[in-house]
A = this chain, B = another copy of it.
């Protein structure tokens, strides 16, 4: 049986383009004992994958040039030589960026059985959702009534973060770009602030107008001007959970950081970076808490879907244009 997959032919300089991605075909080897073959139905593309394209180990192994790329995926078992899986099982695994994946059974997990579409386990109930929950609770230690600011608030992570924050009270402000995203955030009870055509000074003022008392928690997905504006609006004892800095991922040389880092001192604030994989042992707790909310329709989540394996690079690149609302997915 054949598998089609993407591989990188070189390391991107700055913003990647589609020419870096090669769609290849390989014959899969015979299934060995303990292996499972999965026909993927949904693939995830995520901003953190950009960091894996530089050939340097950061917190995760880089993609190897010429080898199959990988990432989260959901699919159906089509052959199994492991007693834990049977044909027809719906599973999640890390063999994405391809149509058919063949993996050891211990790298595959059955989908939980909440009444949600299966691709939710790549988004609101998957890694992005778990990231929102971990950043807010474990890293930022959000308390009842805290005022919370979230950047990239209409993204896969941000849109759950604002809703979980909203449920605990306090003023919740979300930064986003397009009117459509701002409208969605407002519909969730979030005060939406656009970053478009603003420098950090103007964004600072707009955040202050949205929440004059300042923020106890900042959930950071963007970096750059968003961070600078947030630093100007911290309350004493504020906590910043640094989940990502997507505005910087394609920088070819280091851009200067915010000029107001001393606010960390003046406001006795804490800024902490985290990687969700370090906290994966808490995934069952997350699922117990958020799974029922999603199944009952109490959490609103959106998806931006591209169809067809060949669209995977395009879907990935759209993340850096802010073209996605909610989770960016590829449907096979």
Contact = CB atoms under 8 A, between A and B. Distances in A.
Top 10 A-B pairs, shortest CB-CB distance:
A254-B259, A257-B257, A256-B256, A265-B273, A264-B273, A270-B272, A257-B261, A271-B271, A257-B258, A58-B266
Interface of A: 58-59, 223, 227, 236, 242-245, 248, 253-262, 264-275, 278
Contacts of A227: 261
A257 B255 contact: no
A272 B271 contact: yes
A244 B278 CA distance: 30
Nearest to A260: B254
Given A265-B245, A273-B264, A273-B265, A257 B254 contact: no
Q: How many identical chains are in the complex?
A: 2
Contacts of A278: 268
A262 B275 contact: no
A244 to B, nearest CB: 7
From A236, A270, A275, A278, name the one whose CB has the most chain B CB atoms within 10 angstroms. Answer: A270
A270 B270 contact: yes
A138 to B, nearest CB: 12
Given A248-B262, A257-B257, A261-B223, A272 B269 contact: yes
Contacts of A270: 270-273
B223 A262 contact: yes
Contacts of A255: 259
A248 B259 CA distance: 10
Contact of A265 (B236, B242, B262, B267): B242
Nearest to A257: B257
Contacts of A236: 59
Contacts of A271: 264, 270-272
A270 B244 CA distance: 14
Contacts of A262: 223, 245, 248
A268 B275 contact: yes
Contacts of A58: 266
